[in-house]
A and B are shown apart, each in its own frame.
Chain A
Amino acid sequence: MSEIVMVENRHDERIMFFETPSFIVSPYLFISVILLNIGLLSVLILWGTQFFKRIFQSREQARLRLERAERAAEAILNQAREESLAIIGKAHQASANILKESAVSREGFQKEFEKVVREFSRGETERLLKLSEGFSKSYQASTDEARKTYLKNMDALYQHLTDRARESTERFEKFMQDEVAQFEGIAKFQFERLQSSVVTEVESYKQDLIKRVERSIFRIIYLVSTNVLGKTIDLEGHRELVIKALEEAKREGFFE
C-alpha cells in the first residue's frame, strides 16, 4: 500500500509523490511470495499437460472410430453398388426385351391403323362427295332461282326507278319550264313597267328641262327687255306708258 505525500519546495510549490510501504520491501515476505507463485505455476502446468494429453487421446480414438466407420460404410456402399449394378443389368436386359417386343407390335398396329384410317377416309370421302354433289346441285338450283329472282326483281326495280326517275324528270322539267315561263313573264312585265317608267321619267325630265330652259330664256328676255327698256324710255315715254296702263285697266273694267 502506498501513501500520497505532499511536500512544498523553496518556491513554495507543492509536490506530490507516493511513499512505498514498509512491508513490501521486506525480503522474506518477498521470497515467500515468489516461491508460492512458482509452486502454483508448476501445479498448473502439470494439470494442463494432463488435460491436453487426454484431449489428444480422445481425438485419436475418435479418428480411429471414424476411420472404421468409414471403412464399414464404404464396404456397405460397394456391396450396394454391386447389387445395384446387377439389378440394373437385369432391368436393362428386361427393358431391351420389352422394347424389342413392343417394336414388333407397334409396326403391326401402325399398319392396321393406317388401313382402318384409309378405309374410313375413303368412305367418308365418297359420302362427302355424294353429299357435296347433292348439295352442289341443290345449291346450284337455288342459286339459279335466286339469281333469276334477283334479276327479275332488279329488272322490276330498275324499271320502277327508271319510270320514277323519268316521271320526276318530266315533272321537274315541267316545273322548271313553268317557273322559267313565270319568271320570264314577271321579268318581262317588270322590265316593261320599268322601261315605261323610265321612258316616262325621262320624258318628264326632258319636258321639265325644256320648261326650265324656256323659263330661263324667257327670264333672260324679260330681264334684258325690262332693263334695256327701263333705261332707254324717256320721261314722255314713261308718261305714255302710265296712260297706256290706265287705259288698259279701264278697258278691263278695273275702275267700275
Chain B
Amino acid sequence: MQTSRDISEILKQIRTQEDAGAFSEGADILAEGLYHRDPLAVREKLRRRLPQRIYLLLEEEADKFLDRKDPEGLRAFISSLHKAIEGLRALRLELGFEPTGETIDHISSWVKREIGPDIILDFGRDLSIRAGARIIFRGRFVEKSLGVMIASWIERDKEKIKESLRHAVTVRNQ
C-alpha cells in the first residue's frame, strides 16, 4: 500500500521527540492545506515552521498528493502520519553531554535497528552522568553512566585494588 510504505519511510526519519512534534505540526499544516487554494502558500508555511530536514521530507511526500490533486490521498496520509506518531515509543536518554546531529543519527540508527523502528529518542541533560547514559523506558530506568561503570568495576575488582593498595603502602613504608 502506497501510504503505509511512505509512512514507514517517514518513521525511519523520526529520530527524536522533537522530530515527532515537528512531523505532527507539519501534518497539521498539510491538513490546513487541504482547504487552501494556493499550494505554494502551504509549502511556504511548512518551510517556515519546520526544520529543513523535516520540511524537505514532508514536502517530498506531500507533493505526491498535491501534484496529483488527490486530497483524499493526502488526508489519508495525514491521518496515517498522526496515528504513526501517536504510536511511537519514546526512549529517554539522559546524557552528560549535548549530542550532535551525527551522534543522534548514530544512536537512533542503533535503537531503531536493535530495539524497534517505532522507538524515538528523548534526550535529557544531567552533568553528573559525565559519560554513558541513564536510560528510561516504559516507566523503568537503568543507569549506565560512567560513574556506575567505574563503581561496578571497583566492586568487581575490589580485592585486586585493595591488594594493589597494600602493596603500594608496604613499598612506601619500606
A245/B144 contact (C-beta < 8 A), A222-B151, A222-B154, A226-B130 known: yes
Q: Mark A223-237, 1 if CB is under 8 A from B, else 0.
A: 001110110010101
- A224 to B174 Cα, complex, angstroms: 27
Which residue among B99, B142, B144 has the maximum number of chain A CB atoms within 10 Å of its CB?
Answer: B144
A230/B131 contact (C-beta < 8 A), A222-B151, A239-B107 known: yes
- Whether B97 lies near A250 (C-beta < 8 A) is no
Q: Is A248 an interface residue (CB 8 A)?
A: yes
- Whether A242 lies near B95 (C-beta < 8 A) is yes
- A249 to B137 Cα, complex, angstroms: 11
Q: Mark A179-203, 1 if CB is under 8 A from B, else 0.
A: 0000000000000000000000000
Stretch at the interface among B13-21, B56-64, B80-88, B110-118: B110-118
- A241 to B130 Cα, complex, angstroms: 11
Q: Which of A53-78 contact B (CB under 8 A)?
A: none
- A225 to B97 Cα, complex, angstroms: 17
- A221 to B158 Cα, complex, angstroms: 11
- Whether A221 lies near B154 (C-beta < 8 A) is yes
- Whether A229 lies near B146 (C-beta < 8 A) is yes
| Contact partners of A241 in chain B: CB under 8 A | 131-133, 146
- A250 to B165 Cα, complex, angstroms: 35
Which residue among B97, B137, B162 has the maximum number of chain A CB atoms within 10 Å of its CB?
Answer: B97
A226/B107 contact (C-beta < 8 A), A235-B97, A245-B133 known: no
- Whether A225 lies near B110 (C-beta < 8 A) is no
Tell me the nearest residue of chain A to B137, going by C-beta. A255
| Contact partners of B99 in chain A: CB under 8 A | 239
Q: Is B71 an interface residue (CB 8 A)?
A: no
Q: Is B135 an interface residue (CB 8 A)?
A: yes
| Contact partners of B154 in chain A: CB under 8 A | 218, 221-222
Q: Is B93 an interface residue (CB 8 A)?
A: yes
- A217 to B137 Cα, complex, angstroms: 34
Among A218, A239, A244, A255, point to the contact of B103 (Cβ < 8 A).
Answer: A239
Q: Is A208 an interface residue (CB 8 A)?
A: no
- Whether A214 lies near B142 (C-beta < 8 A) is no
Q: Which of B22-61 contact A (CB under 8 A)?
A: none
| Contact partners of B146 in chain A: CB under 8 A | 225-226, 229-230, 233, 241
Q: Is B76 an interface residue (CB 8 A)?
A: no
- A243 to B133 Cα, complex, angstroms: 9
- Whether A243 lies near B161 (C-beta < 8 A) is no
| Contact partners of B135 in chain A: CB under 8 A | 245-246, 249, 254
Q: Is A101 an interface residue (CB 8 A)?
A: no
| Contact partners of B133 in chain A: CB under 8 A | 241-242, 245-246
Tell me the nearest residue of chain A to B165, going by C-beta. A217
Q: Is A238 an interface residue (CB 8 A)?
A: yes
- A250 to B150 Cα, complex, angstroms: 20
Q: Is B100 an interface residue (CB 8 A)?
A: yes
Q: Is A252 an interface residue (CB 8 A)?
A: yes
Tell me the nearest residue of chain A to B115, going by C-beta. A255
- Whether B97 lies near A254 (C-beta < 8 A) is no
Shortest CB-to-CB span from B89 to chain A, Å, is 10
8 A-B pairs whose Cβ atoms sit less than 8 Å apart in the complex: A214-B158, A226-B147, A239-B99, A239-B103, A242-B107, A245-B135, A246-B133, A255-B137
Known A229-B131, A235-B103, A243-B106; further 9 A-B contacts with Cβ < 8 A: A217-B161, A226-B130, A233-B146, A239-B99, A245-B135, A246-B107, A246-B110, A246-B111, A254-B142
